[in-house]
Structure 1
Amino acid sequence: MNTPITRRAFVRNTAALAAVAALPRRLRAHSAGDKLNIAAIGIGGQGSADLRAVAMENIVALCDVDADYAAHAFAEYPQARRYTDFREMFDREKDLDAVVVATPDHLHAVVTMAALQHGKHVYCEKPLTRTVHEARAIAQAAAKAKVATQMGNQGMAFAGNRQLDEWIQSGAIGAVREVHVWSDRPTQRGKMPLWWPQGVERPTDTPPVPETLNWDLWLGPAPHRPYHPAYAPFRWRGWWDFGSGGLGDMGIHNLAPVFSALKLGAPETVSASSTALVDDSVPLASLVHYRFPARGDLPPVTLHWYDGGLLPARPDELEAGGELDPEDGILFVGDEGKILVEGWGGEHPRILGRNGDQPYRRPPSDETAHARHAAEWIAACKNGSPTRSDFRFAGPLTEAVLLGAACVRNGGRKLVWDSASMTFTNDPRANQYLHYTYRDGWRL
């Protein structure tokens, strides 16, 4: 027997169907074979590698302010619509599911925030942001948006990185109270030349802006300055307005395994020393000391960061003739032993002083971590599975890294950090390095 449908029920059911149809794609069910619609912003450098790692999905839109630097990526995805301004892209692309952000550091926060506010899943290159204030804001916005996030510290997918968690948390070397972490950046293999300029004065000449570059959009929220090839492309990382040197670059990679294994959060204090300070440019080398409080049953930890070719003392337990990797590494000092990590991002850990390789085996070199790191994010976008470096993890990690950068800029004096109020309580002058005033027309 058919039941008549009242006008009120018809209107109610029709409205419900319309509401489901209007849901953003991110809130509709995705099967494993359902491809995501992905856009990428900043595709000329690392962004092109990030794109290749997600190329099995639908690459529907690409955005870059430098048509020449990004030409190879535009050519690789001819079907994707092209944009110069990411804001225009978000206004026009109504069916995006996810966004890859690989701009210079100073644009990470404004681009990522726009993606989150549009309800998109986000993969953002490291460091998550250029300032401490931005890192906190992005982590909070991601939690509110309830989307899948991942920061591009690809070493989190290394088997060795995951093995470190098991070793440390199972007590393989006892309680860890001291850690040394290093990278030779900005040098190359501990020697000159530099990957990018650091410890230099700001250029005074004003060459013409290349016709293929939108310099105003490249600057984004950063203070205005004339174009110079000392900044773009790629060479921006050693300038405080755009990056934070070796600490902001490889510090995120090499400190992530430490934060994961030791369950670190905000430091209590930070102090530093460095080569000569220059107003605009990151010093050539720095040494940063963090003090972290106890966490439950875990004791306080002192963490030392070295860059620019500086290294910690060679551990006595290292085999005869053995030397520390001059490029990247981690040394965990436990009450009952030490773990040495050779390579970046936790790639090759081994326990020093053990005979043989059982039960702690050094994993082989892992060339597929980048693809797996991206695949982990893709899976999260589709089914809500966890990621190893989501913004809940990446936000506090980035904050701590950038607190070290702020301390270096402040002359290295010991700073006491209050995470709740986001202030240095013993030296208010240092708080100026936690954020800056955006240029007119830009907001977070």
Structure 2
Amino acid sequence: MYHPAPQNRRDFIKFSALAAALLGFAGCTTLQRNPRKPRPIAAGAKIRLAQIGCGGKGYSDIMAHEDEEVVALCDIDWVGTPNPWDTKPGEEPLSNVKKLIARFPNAKRYTDYRKMLLEMDDQIDAVCVSTPDHMHFLPAYMAILMGKHVYVQKPLTQTVGEARELLRIARLTGVCTQMGNQGHAGEGIRLVKEWHDAGVIGDVREVNVWTNRPVWPQGMPAWPKAEPVPAGLDWDSFLGRAPDRPFSSEIHPFKWRGYVDYGCGALGDMACHLMDAAYWGLDLGAPTSVELKKIVGASPVAFPTSAIVEYQFPARGGKPPVKLTWYEGGLKPEKPAQLEANRELAQGGQLIVGSKATVYDGNDYCNSPRIIPAELHRTMAPNFPPKTIPRVPQGNPHKEWTAAIRAGQPQAAGSNFEYSVPFTETVCLGSLAILVGKKFTWDATAMKTSLPEADQLLYPTYRPGWKPAELA
């Protein structure tokens, strides 16, 4: 598989220096030149964890580590939105942040992740980042520079340049990393790879992947009207590096993902799950071109209501080239002839079309891949290859990551940055194709497309003046 090298020297120096300056604390530039190594975890000791972003996915992320020592929690809103869907009958609905305060009363609470990392530097071993997409990079970057292991939600970053920089510093420090595409720790993705590598499905030249997302608003024609900032919400910290815009409940909470300033749209959200089996199992590496084939609900401020994106991947050794087509917003490929007449394609899933057999999985995480039709699967099953790829206990990516930390083995976590960075780059290029609306070629080594307007989106932009001298 292709493993990305650092950016070209000019772009790398410019980007990494800007990122370091933006963190706004003394010593960051020195750390950037000489990042720290992680602290070894003593035998029998708990890992001291901090969570950045607690109100949404961060709640389940840190609860997955409740048997470790949770020492700090950081969120922009310590009031939060009550969650009636996770409330027992007769109980008053509580927000996720309120639940975490009750569950971890001794964990110190912050609204600024920089202040948290500085004040508790010697008390933190590892950090989970579960913020909106545009603010994945900076907290992870700072934590890695300080020698902290990181678990970062998908998509790993909003841009290609951010992803590649995280890989560079992770390699320098030797921290253990993991992206939160949990299906990568599961059984299904391993079956697909074993079947393909053993020649069960033959040569694959076509892959189709689709999702019913977005289930949040997209295609909005303009930015929403300004509203007063709710009490307790640090809106400036939500914006982070993004342009200065007024608060709106149509952005926060939850609806930020559809806006280009904060999210990556349906493709960025779900491709890290749905494309994972094909990307890993077929050893796809970097695409040679990406093209927007269809768009519905185009917008200057948001991702569209639906789209189709086509990736072209080159031949890899003895493997043929692959066309991978992404469908979103309810769009799907045609029903394959191999699927039984009484079955329809699921709301989301994938078809990996081989010369000997087609693999179909009708869920988001490749939980149950099957050869279609079902009768062919039953016929072929006795000759399936042995399970040679190591399995993750309970398919738990969080435990896989903490086990890697204890062992001091960064490669032991399956979606570590050596894998998840090139995968993230591929996902980001799909979102980029939607934004520019044209086909472009991709040179992964030079980190350059064939379109100047696409190249401008390979790196993030930063809000002027967001360089506070004080962290409080």
TM-score w.r.t. length of structure 1: 0.87
Give the alignment partner of residue 58 of structure 1, picking from 66, 69, 72.
69
Q: Distance in 2 between matches of 1:369 and 1:309?
A: 34
- The correspondence of residues 171-320 of structure 1 with structure 2, limited to 5 A, is 171-186=199-214, 195-272=215-292, 273-320=294-341
1:111 equivalent in alignment to 2:136: no
Count of residues in Structure 1 that have an aligned counterpart in Structure 2:
404
Which residue pairs with 1:73 in the alignment?
100
Give the alignment partner of residue 433 of structure 2, picking from 393, 403, 407.
407
Which residue pairs with 1:170 in the alignment?
198
1:430 equivalent in alignment to 2:443: no
Which residue pairs with 1:30 in the alignment?
42
Q: Which amino acid aligns with 1:260?
A: W
Give the alignment partner of residue 344 of structure 2, picking from 323, 327, 330.
323
Runs of 4+ in 1 over 3 A off after TM superposition: 23-27, 368-371, 440-443
Task: Rate the CA distance shift 1:214–1:206 in 2: closer, same or farther, 3 A.
Answer: same
The alpha carbon displacement at 1:290 in A equals 0.4
Task: Rate the CA distance shift 1:341–1:414 in 2: closer, same or farther, 3 A.
Answer: same
The alpha carbon displacement at 1:435 in A equals 2.4
CA contact (8 A) 2:243 2:261 kept: yes
Which residue pairs with 2:423 in the alignment?
397
Q: Distance in 1 between matches of 2:107 and 2:52?
A: 12
Task: Rate the CA distance shift 1:355–1:341 in 2: closer, same or farther, 3 A.
Answer: closer
Q: Distance in 2 between matches of 1:265 and 1:283?
A: 27
Q: Secondary structure at the match of 1:26?
A: coil
- Structure 2, unpaired ranges of 5+: 1-34, 81-96, 468-472
Q: Distance in 1 between matches of 2:378 and 2:313?
A: 34
Q: Distance in 1 between matches of 2:47 and 2:234?
A: 29
1:134 equivalent in alignment to 2:158: no
Q: Which amino acid aligns with 2:216?
A: W
Identity of aligned residues (%): 42
The alpha carbon displacement at 1:436 in A equals 3.2
Which residue pairs with 2:110 in the alignment?
83
- The correspondence of residues 338-417 of structure 1 with structure 2, limited to 5 A, is 338-353=358-373, 354=376, 356=378, 358-359=381-382, 372-385=396-409, 386-411=412-437, 413-417=438-442
1:92 equivalent in alignment to 2:113: no
Which residue pairs with 1:4 in the alignment?
none
CA contact (8 A) 1:380 1:387 kept: yes
Q: Secondary structure at the match of 1:348?
A: coil
CA contact (8 A) 2:50 2:128 kept: yes
Which residue pairs with 2:444 in the alignment?
419
Deviations 1:312-361 (A, max 9, x none): 111111122111112x2110111111111121121110011315263359
- Who wins on radius of gyration, i.e. which is larger? 1
The alpha carbon displacement at 1:433 in A equals 2.2
Q: Distance in 2 between matches of 1:236 and 1:288?
A: 22
Q: Distance in 2 between matches of 1:370 and 1:379?
A: 13
CA contact (8 A) 1:65 1:213 kept: yes
Q: Secondary structure at the match of 1:400?
A: helix
CA contact (8 A) 1:59 1:80 kept: yes
Q: Distance in 1 between matches of 2:42 and 2:416?
A: 20
The alpha carbon displacement at 1:34 in A equals 1.7
CA contact (8 A) 2:212 2:329 kept: yes
The alpha carbon displacement at 1:369 in A equals 8.4
Q: Which amino acid aligns with 1:76?
A: R
The alpha carbon displacement at 1:77 in A equals 1.0
Q: Distance in 1 between matches of 2:267 and 2:234?
A: 28
The alpha carbon displacement at 1:56 in A equals 0.7
CA contact (8 A) 2:213 2:329 kept: yes
Give the alignment partner of residue 149 of structure 2, picking from 107, 121, 129.
121
- The correspondence of residues 14-25 of structure 1 with structure 2, limited to 5 A, is none
The alpha carbon displacement at 1:161 in A equals 1.5
- Structure 1, unpaired ranges of 5+: 1-22, 187-194
Deviations 1:397-442 (A, max 9, x none): 111111111111111x2101111221212x2122222223211355
CA contact (8 A) 1:199 1:281 kept: yes
Which residue pairs with 2:178 in the alignment?
150
